[in-house]
Structure formats: structure tokens, C-alpha cells
Amino acid sequence: MKPLLFSLLFALCALPFTKPAEAQPVRALWGFEATGVFGGTPQETVAALQDLGANALFSNNLSAELSSALRAANIKVYATVNVFGENSAWRRHPELRPMNSNGELLTAQHGHGICPTQRWYWPRIQRTIAQRIEAGYDGVWLDFIRFSGFWEEARPKLERTCFCDSTLADFSRTAGIAFPEELAEIAAANAQSDTTSGRDHGNAAKAAWILANHRSAWRHYIGNVIADFARQAKETMARKNANATLGLFVVPWQREEFNAAMPDVLGQDFRKLREHADVFSPMLYHELCGREVDWIAQFVEYTAKETGKPVWPIIQSDLGKDHRVSDDTFAAAVLSALDPPSQGVIIFNQKALLEAKQTRILSSLWRTAQ
């Protein structure tokens, strides 16, 4: 037997060593539409995308013919769902309108969405997620999966929400914390001295008491609300396609930045969300956020360590006259986004990319990443 064994070992050692194939980094366009250089027949659109070097798209509006052609070319297609960001829903359901810690209803502006604790509304959003998977998408990315707050600037102005009747009751029940009876007296006194503002002084008194005495419990509560929606989304998708990917577009702040605003104000706790998400996509819009380009790679590394999950950052191209990104800076941003441990990059967005004529730069960089 020994001569045979030695012969087998010799033969195996003589075989050429083949390095395992490494997964290609994701090279995706957000907001894709088959227009401009990507117009024409489905085959022409696929050819244009391949020429660019794209291997993934984010779009909610593709024809069946184009979807089939993309699938045949192994170009992944992902959908996005705006979870808690549609304040247009206030008109039909005013109870969805969030309230801040001063007892004031939010104004209808960018960054202000719906109250996430209104669980009776969740099935409508989950139904949209299910429909995307049924339509054949490879996965769904959840956007605005958080409490309200405008973050796309260097010095964000944040309001704590939501302190509506429903949320306060749910917090009290879930956390097992009863509100002191004397809060009603405080609220009545405040209301007597303020008859014109329209504030809900009862809710404002409860909010102040929570933040002064039970801030940790409040942080835990709002983080669990957001994480529970992500859990349900993953379960919804798994019932339709066990292989579908659940991604999250997340705010690009570290846990303790802006006075711990991520877990304290937005309820977006990476340590809770990592139990349910397959991919994290921090929205690393460096120009909008007043950051340097190297911040992109730094935050990708932070996200990977914090979550233990694949990270596909989404970065901005030149967005027009108010948010210029030069060609050189855009190139540097793409390279920074592709630095390990990143597993790809998503470009925000196709329309702006075409208008800024930055596809040539992107194509050159993406080809080096293949």
C-alpha cells in the first residue's frame, strides 16, 4: 500500500495550485433607470452597464424584459423601501405624525417621517417588502429605518421623538415604568401659563421625566422598536425567498457621536440591527456631511467592526451646483469606499452621475476593482 500512497501524494503535489476565486466587489448604481446611455433595448442596457463595470442596481421600476436580461447577465437587482420616512401619510393618518419632547407635532419637512411605534401600520410596509421579493428582486434595502431626524449636514439639529400618547403608553408598558401622578399637576400648571403654543404639556412633562430619570430604558426601547421591524422584514423576505438579501441604509455616525444620537435619538443601534441585517450600507455622503474623503474608509472599517457583517457603503457623486464634487474628489471617494473591509460600493445616484459626466471616471475605477 505504501508505494501507492506515495504515488498519490506525489501526484497531488504536482497539480498546479489554484487560488480560490474571490468574490467580486459590488459595483452598484442607486436610482437606476433605463435612460440616457443606459436606454435602448434590454440587451443594449445590459451592454452599457457591463461597459461601465456595474454588477448590481438599485431600482424599483424595471420592466420584466429588462429584469430578465439583467438576471441572465448576472447583474443583481435590489429594491429599496422607505420604512418610516413618508410624512405624506400624515394626511390620511394624522396619528402617525411624531411629537417631539416639547409636546409639539413635527412640521412636514425633510427628515421628518412617521412615528415608528405605530405597529398597526407596519403590515402595510411589510406588504411592500413582500411584493418586492415576489417580483423577483435579489434583495431589499430598508431606508429611513429610524426615528425622525435630519442628518445630512455637518452640524445636525436633532429633535427627540416620538412622545405621542401611543408611544408613551407602549414605553410604560414595555419597560414596566409607571409615570408619577404629580406629572399631571406639572402639566396643568404649564398649560395654564401657556395657552397659545398648542403644545401637549402632559406629554412634554412625561418626556422630560423619562429623559431625566430613565434615559437608558428609553434608548433600549427605541432601539428595540427599530430592530423589531428589521426582524419582521427579514422574516417576511425569508417566507418568499430564503436567499434574498436584507440590507440597511444607515446614518453614518459612530455610536457616541453627537451625544450618542444614533441609539439615543434615532434608535438606530448597530448592535441590535446586526442580528437581522445581511448587509450594512452607511450613507457616506462626505460633501453633504462636511467630511474629508478618508472618512469614508474609516467609517466602513468602524461599521464592519461594530456589526460583523458585510459593508457596502453608498457614496455621492457630484449632485449639482449646491453640492459639487470634483472629478478628482469623486475618484478618491470611490477608491476610499472600496478599501477593505468594504465589499463594494453603491453610487448615489445615477441621474446625477450622468449629469456630471462622471461615468468615465467610475468605469475606469470599477475596472481596476474587478
Structural domain includes residue 191: no
pLDDT of residue 22: 57
Contacts of residue 185, defined as CB under 8 A and 6 or more positions apart, other chains included, come to none
Residue 188 forms part of a structural domain: no
Q: How far apart are CA 107 and CA 156, in angstroms?
A: 16
Residue 341 preceded by cis peptide, ω within 30: yes
Q: What is the pLDDT of residues 230-268, one digit of tens each?
A: 999 999 999 999 999 999 999 999 999 999 999 999 999
Q: What's the mean pLDDT in 359-368?
A: 93
The pLDDT of residue 23 is 79
Rounded Cα gap, residues 16 and 18, in angstroms: 6
Is residue 304's pLDDT more than 90?
yes
What confidence tier does 192 reach under pLDDT thresholds 50, 70, 90? confident
- Whether 193 maps to a domain, the answer reads no
3-state secondary structure of 309: coil
> Would 314 be classed as within a structural domain?
yes
pLDDT at residue 18 tops 80:
no
Q: Do the strands 344-348 and 314-316 form a parallel or antiparallel pair, or are they unpaired?
A: parallel
* Structural domain contains residue 176: no
Q: Is 315 inside any structural domain?
A: yes
Is residue 356 over pLDDT 70?
A: yes
Task: Report d(CA 314, CA 319) in Å as an integer.
Answer: 14
**26-37 confidence digits (pLDDT tens):** 999 999 999 999
Question: What are 122-164's pLDDT values in tens digits?
Answer: 999 999 999 999 999 999 999 999 999 999 999 998 999 999 9
Q: Whole-angstrom Cα distance, residue 353 to residue 57? A: 14
Q: How many domains in the chain?
A: 1
Percent of residues, the chain, with pLDDT higher than 70: 94
- Given the C-alpha cell 451625544, which residue does it identify? 259
CATH number at residue 92: 3.20.20.80
**In sequence order, what DSSP letters do the residues of 319-332 get, joined into one string?**
-STTS---HHHHHH
Give residue 280's pLDDT. 99
Distance CA 141, CA 237 (A): 11
Which amino acid makes up residue 36? G
Residue 5 has pLDDT above 60, yes or no: no
Band (pLDDT 50/70/90 cuts) for residue 13 is very low
Is residue 190 in some structural domain? no
Domain-embedded: residue 168 = no
10, 14, 15, 130, 368 from 18: Cα distances, Å:
17, 12, 9, 41, 21
Q: For residue 86, give its domain range.
A: 24-157+222-368
- Does a cis peptide bond (omega within 30 degrees of 0) precede residue 87? no
